[in-house]
Structure 1
Amino acid sequence: MARRSAFRNRLKRLLLGLPLAFVLLTTAQVLVLKWVDPVGSSFMAGRMLDAWMDGDWRYRVDYRWRADTAISRQLPLAVVAAEDQRFPEHHGFDIAAMQRAYQGNQRGRKIRGGSTISQQLAKNLFLWSGRSYVRKALEAWYTLLIETFWSKRRILEVYVNVVEFGDGVYGAEAAARRYYGMSAGKLGTAQAARLAAVLPNPKKYSAAKPGPYVQRRSRGIQRQMQRLGGPSYLDDCCRR
């Protein structure tokens, strides 16, 4: 009886300790990356694993980290114009955009989702693709941590470095070299807008050979960049 009671007590302490361990581990992950540039992301690891499972052992992702000062200011603006125009204002979750997305889905309309750049970064950096309540809950938790501990500038810097701009092409520098033969610091407005235009589905849409959808979306992003006021729109929240 005593042995059974001791086992139950140990099990209880273990179960009570798991949530605390999860909080400490995930918080440490986010805090470290506040100062340390990531060597990769969960999405990159998943893509390499897929290739290796298909027998392509030579496959490597194209990822080259660059500090935000080495990336054209047009690209963060283009990403914000395309994906999350209220990025400087919200704290990780755009409730109005989420409501519009939900209402559109209920009516059967295909519209842009309500995820913010912070949410997309949380998913790309720490989680996996797909849809499940568990992943969405983890995404929300990591988003909260990112917005709590990182500056808006750091969020944008990491996002434009790890987001996928084409199959296996991750980040501004790899995309600029692959598609335009230049460094990310030299990207112009049109080039940045075209990269942002493929973000809904970088495996389907191409920045190198843009079809009608990418061309049309790219022009719309450029117009929105002008309406926002150019790169100065991000100065208050993301001052260099």
Structure 2
Amino acid sequence: MAKKSSKKTTEPKAKRFQPLRWLRRWTLRIGGGIVLFVLLIVALFSVVNPPTTYYIVSEGSRLGGVDRDWVPMEQIAPVMARAAVAAEDADFCEHWGLDVSAIQSAIESGGDRGGSTISQQTVKNVFLWHGRTYTRKALEAMITPVVELLWSKQRILEVYLNIAEFDEGVFGVQAASQHYFGVDAADLSSVQAARLAAILPAPKSRSASNPSSFVRNRAAGIIDGAATIRADGRADCFE
């Protein structure tokens, strides 16, 4: 008579649910998905013009519409590009998106001066929202180097000039040129370009066509600065 096997068949034990491991796994998946999405959008906007921004949409809703007309860099007067850089970020061609020395100077001055580069302002306007929250600033600091990596300096400046606010409801240098001077962005003079740059970053309280003494003096300094960065090569990356 055959002996019965004494070995017991063991059934596989059901895996025990581990909430912390599950949460970690899904956090990594969601985080990776967000990072991939941001990379794809940044890469897309390196060749496709951003259709709008959060701020433009909110202002359009508040005002019942905005004045905006996108123009490529080739249709923006070179003096305008140099004026904007001289006014907002003279070392635009020399940094990788974050100007550490400018940030340090802003901190030392107690926040009275801005430390944001043109690249940071472009990231804020295109991908984020306005405000001084730590969350927004942290996201801006993370996305800016990615934009610098995937976009050319000329592309960054082109987008910046086309989404910057120049008056209430007036966005982009083409709309601003028509609004203040009745000319196209391609036909701006050095004085007109400097005055447009001088009203940034407070366009709602300054006027390019009816400049205060502050705007006039600031524009004069911008004209000198624009000539300087052209002469010393700090405009080479976008011209």
TM-score of the aligned structures, taking structure 1 as reference length: 0.88
Match of 2:173 in 1: 172
Q: Could you tell me which residue of structure 1 aligns to residue 136 of structure 2?
A: 135
The structure with the largest helix share of the pair is: 1
Aligned 1:95-174 pairs, distance under 5 A:
95-105=100-110, 110=112, 112-174=113-175
Query: Which residue, out of 73, 76, 93, partners 2:78?
Result: 73
The CA distance in 1 between the partners of 2:232 and 2:109, in whole Å, is 31
Select the structure of larger CA radius of gyration: 2
Alpha-carbon deviation of 1:177? Answer: 0.8
Task: Pick the aligned partner of 2:95 from 56, 66, 90.
Answer: 90
1:19 aligns with 2:31: yes
* Unaligned segments of structure 1, at least 5 residues: none
The reply on whether 1:238 has 2:238 as its aligned counterpart is yes
SS in 1 for 2:94: coil
CA distances 1:112-143 after superposition (whole Å, capped 9, x unpaired) = 31110000000011111111110001111221
1:181-205 deviation digits (Å, cap 9, x = unpaired): 1110000100000000011211111
**Contact (CA 8 Å) 1:73, 1:231: kept in 2 or not?**
no
In the TM superposition, residue 229 of structure 1 has moved relative to its aligned partner by: 3.0
Secondary structure, aligned partner of 1:36 = coil
Q: Please name the residue that 1:198 is paired with.
A: 199
2:90–2:234 contact (8 Å) kept in structure 1: no
Counterparts of residues 40-55 of structure 1 (less than 5 Å): 40-49=52-61, 51=62
Contact 1:123 1:129 in 2 (8 A): yes
CA apart distance, 1:171? 0.6
Q: Per-residue CA shift, 1:196-219, capped at 9, x if unaligned?
A: 001121111121321121111111
Tell me which residue corresponds to 1:185. Answer: 186
TM-score (normalised: structure 2): 0.88
- Alpha-carbon distance between aligned partners in 1 of 2:203 and 2:209, rounded to the nearest angstrom: 11
Separation in 1, partners of 2:88, 2:235:
14
Matched position secondary structure for 1:35: coil
Q: Is the 8 A contact 1:77 1:230 kept in 2?
A: no
Taking a change above 3 Å as real, the CA distance of residues 3 and 47 of structure 1, as seen in their structure-2 partners, is: farther
Q: Which amino acid aligns with 2:221?
A: G
- How many angstroms does 1:228 deviate by? 2.1
- Rounded to whole Å, the distance in 1 between the matches of 2:42 and 2:160 is 14
- Cα distance change of structure 1 residues 75 and 9 upon mapping to structure 2, 3 Å threshold: same
Query: Does the CA contact (< 8 Å) of 1:176 and 1:182 recur in 2?
Result: yes
Q: Secondary structure at the match of 1:234?
A: coil
SS in 2 for 1:5: coil
What code does the residue aligned with 1:61 have? Answer: V
Q: What is the distance in 1 between the residues matched to 2:22 and 2:93?
A: 47
Residues 103 and 78 from structure 1, CA distance in 2 versus in 1: closer, same or farther, beyond 3 angstroms? same
**Which consecutive unaligned segments of at least 5 residues does structure 2 have?**
1-13
The number of aligned residues is 227
Identity within the alignment, %: 42
Q: Which residue of 1 aligns with 2:48?
A: 36
